Structure 1
Amino acid sequence: MRTGFLLNDAHWVVVQQGLPEGLVDTQWVSGDPGEATEFVSVGGLDLVVVEASEKFLTADLVQAADRGGIMLAALITHAGAEQWADQRGVGHRLYQPEDLLALVAGKGGSPLLDASPDGVPGPQHAAEPGSSLPQTSRRGTLTVFWGPHGAPGATTLCVSTASVLARQGLSVCLVDADARGGVISPALGVLDPIPGFLAAIRLAGKGELNAEHITRLVCPYLSPPTEFSILTGTPRGLIPGEVPRDSLDALIGILRELFDAVLFDTGSDISLSGEDRRSTGADITSHIASRADAIVAVCGVSPAGVARFARALPELESQAVGTPVRVWLNGVDTSRRAVGDDAMLREALWRFAGLSEYAALPRDTSLFLEAERKALSPIDVNPQSGFAHALRHELATFTLSRWGEEDTSHTMNAPPAVAEDRARATRRGERELPVKSRSHPQGPPEVAKRGFPALVANLRRRWLKLTALR
């Protein structure tokens, strides 16, 4: 097997003594990652053995090997080396000279592969009794949490939902799939030396991802009685092509088998324009939405939030045809002085987004601030808060396990107050205003053009007046 080596001189002396005679054809040995990456780009190799460290196992080297179809094997030489190999998505591990012999002789190569009786490697199809691997007989639900740019609280609601479901005894996995960079792990104080989402995608791209990989990559969130798993996001923005759709499908399939509920926290990017279609965030969000059992669309309770939501919702629906979309209004003021705001919001959402059914989740600033300080889910900070009661009521009414079986998506039926006004207008012989239809996602052109700016201006005036009184 034509092999290249990237490691320091001291480790090369040890590796050289244990090379399988006649099975390894050494092409080059280097201690310079840049030089090794150039060698890999040229090709002509079957295997590259690289020391699993920040200096040697670089992202450029991994990408060059992937492009050339070259196998990578991580040489484990120190504590933390396995975590670095996981982060780079390298599944083959070398601990002893015998591991290299098994790899090149075709008797193993991955710690997650078992040798069958005839010596041919095969995947572990079932866990042995007493194994820590999760059972894979279930098919969990997949729910996407999305909000347009500037929609506050989509991640908080996703985390809170995970807590509620976990307290009900369900196994839950929370996936941070925001292409602009993950925020769940720092928000919950979870130590994530490995960006689990990206590592899983890379392993899936090589056809190596399985249940045991997932159990190693997820980070636990534990605040008794709440316990769920987190597949953490990246500390940087994703680059185009870094999350292929086939790899994403493979990851989703395994997560469905391992967990009762899989919650994806996605970015705000989702567009049909040619430019945004090439965006990594838009591509990830659109693809996950098309595979989901349900979508939670978060709308910020403000003039800007409603306007952005009304413009972005048709794009989301076009990417997830047939998937139920449930709208959550986040940050609703339930005090007496905000009574008039609710009527305005209902009218705006009906006129410009066609929404008459949604969940209103109350604002609890002190609860959220305390959750941030303690790095906990708001549900675990105060399970008896008004926010917690409202969220539990919403999940009991439109449970994630029943979405897709019942029609819980938003409907085009007018609110009772609007229907009654139309009936009175008809009895008086007055002309009825045109109704928003699917052929005009933003409402009839003449009505939308004339009414939307005035409504936004009115919303802004009312909002500023309300906040000034406080």
Structure 2
Amino acid sequence: MARIAIALPVALEDRVSDDAVRHGHDVVARSASALELASLVGPVAPDIVIVASEPRYLTDRVLASCDDAGVRLIALATDDAGRRHAASLGIFESMDAASPWPDIEKVIAGAGRELIPALRRAARGSVIAVWGPAGSPGRTTIAIGIAAELAAMGHSVALADVDTHGASIAPALGMLDEAPGFAAACRLAGNDTLTQLELERIAQRYESTLGGFWVLTGIGRPSRWPELSGERVATTIARCRSWVDYTILDTSSSLENDEEISSDLFAPRRNAAAVTAVREADSIVAVGSADPVGLSRFLRAHVDMIETASTNDVTVVMNRIRASAIGMNPHAQVTQTLSRFGGIESPVLVPHDQAGLDGAVLSGRTLADSAPRSPARTAIRSMVMSRLVPEPPPERRSLRSRFRLARATG
């Protein structure tokens, strides 16, 4: 007989609990959230924790509580997103939530485990660099938004702050940045000791009911920029490719190559991190501010970015679209200006939502969590789905998607 603690959705909880009791086990605790479960593991001292593989029920805090108490954890996943979530936390005992109790019993007994393997992803994850000119056009806001939307779609995501001039991801998400994660990763990369386990150790986890993601915080003081050499940054990005599906790089604005003004060609480069991030990226999101000054800065700097980048996959995003700064019909004004002076067609236009963004920063949450109906969030989500994530082949659509399509067209 095993002492079992459960944290599952109501319908699944009733089935698993009844099956466990019927087979002679003792259900010692039921929890409705990860926070409650983490607090119960120590006092209740179960032998096994059965938890839904969803951010609401399964977090790194739950894992830490189970590890401290020496308790085994079994995750039940209802879909691919759940399996990705379990795999991102390093959980290998992940089963299909529809598995009959005898299969779960085998796992509890420690023999004959027929677990669903962790969802395989491409050996080479994608890297998206978010760049923009000087003047705070909203690079960090867009980078966080992209990471949140990719995570909500079920992908494993790492958001890295590569800005050596003014790192801001940590405070925007309410995280401590006393030990910069990206700088630590670069130091380990320089010693050739950067592994997936080390990345998960130094990264912080942003948890959300929509989907969490890893965060490698930036340097707190700009004077620490020599730690982010071009070679180290390139190695770190390469390691991230084998760690997660998508790596989002929040870069600084300056892409100047300062070799010509340096007497030592082997000296560290002030802008090496941003230049390397743009060159290593598979796709680039170029962010500008939709006002006269912002547009002017963007059009001038956009040329340098195109010359630096090694990819032609560039999505232009004009942030803070509003009539008060650009005049009547701001969408047409911005689109025509970019086309006439920069040859840029079909930009993504993100409406200005000061209240929604203020609420997100105040709460240390993503826009998707704090203001899910924000027009800015809607624009970012549409961009991610239409331009950054490849459309899955029709034959791989789920039955639920096919049913919705049939109902919509029938």
Query: What band does the TM-score fall into relative to the shorter chain?
Result: 0.5 to 0.7
Query: Which residue number corresponds to residue 73 of structure 2?
Result: none
Unaligned ranges ≥5, structure 1: 1-126, 403-470
Q: Does structure 2 retain, via aligned residues, the 8 Å contact 1:226–1:380?
A: no
Q: Does structure 2 retain, via aligned residues, the 8 Å contact 1:143–1:400?
A: no
Deviation of 1:393 (Å):
1.5
Query: Which residue number corresponds to residue 299 of structure 1?
Result: 288
1:213 aligned to which of 198, 201, 209: 198
SS in 2 for 1:150: coil
Q: Does structure 2 retain, via aligned residues, the 8 Å contact 1:178–1:281?
A: no
Q: What RMSD in Å do the two structures reach over aligned CA positions? A: 2.7
2:374 equivalent to 1:381: no
Query: Which residue number corresponds to residue 354 of structure 1?
Result: 343
What CA distance in whole angstroms lies between the structure 1 residues aligned with 2:120 and 2:339? 45
Q: Does structure 1 retain, via aligned residues, the 8 Å contact 2:323–2:330?
A: no
1:167 is matched by which residue type in structure 2?
A
SS in 2 for 1:174: strand
What CA distance in whole angstroms lies between the structure 1 residues aligned with 2:93 and 2:336? 57
Pairs aligned (count): 274
Q: Deviations over 1:92-144 (max 9, x none)?
A: xxxxxxxxxxxxxxxxxxxxxxxxxxxxxxxxxxx99659x998863211000
Q: Deviations over 1:317-368 (max 9, x none)?
A: 1111333111001011279x95443333233212221112210011111101
What CA distance in whole angstroms lies between the structure 1 residues aligned with 2:152 and 2:91? 28
2:307 equivalent to 1:322: no
SS in 2 for 1:142: strand
Deviation of 1:150 (Å):
0.5
2:135 aligned to which of 150, 161, 173: 150
Q: Does structure 2 retain, via aligned residues, the 8 Å contact 1:138–1:259?
A: no
Query: Which residue number corresponds to residue 271 of structure 1?
Result: 256
2:154 equivalent to 1:180: no
Q: Does structure 2 retain, via aligned residues, the 8 Å contact 1:177–1:264?
A: yes
Unaligned ranges ≥5, structure 2: 1-89, 95-117, 392-410
1:202 aligned to which of 167, 177, 187: 187
Q: Does structure 2 retain, via aligned residues, the 8 Å contact 1:196–1:231?
A: yes
Q: Deviations over 1:394-434 (max 9, x none)?
A: 222212447xxxxxxxxxxxxxxxxxxxxxxxxxxxxxxxx
Q: Does structure 2 retain, via aligned residues, the 8 Å contact 1:141–1:262?
A: yes
Deviation of 1:271 (Å):
2.3
2:213 equivalent to 1:224: no
Q: Does structure 2 retain, via aligned residues, the 8 Å contact 1:290–1:323?
A: no
Query: Which residue number corresponds to residue 60 of structure 1?
Result: none
What CA distance in whole angstroms lies between the structure 1 residues aligned with 2:186 and 2:154? 28
**Identical aligned residues as a percent:** 30
2:231 aligned to which of 246, 263, 287: 246
2:248 equivalent to 1:259: no
Please say which of residues 378-387 and 360-369 is displaced more in the overlay. 378-387
Distance change >3 Å, CA 260–CA 334, structure 1 → 2 = farther
Q: Report the structure number with the largest CA radius of gyration.
A: 1
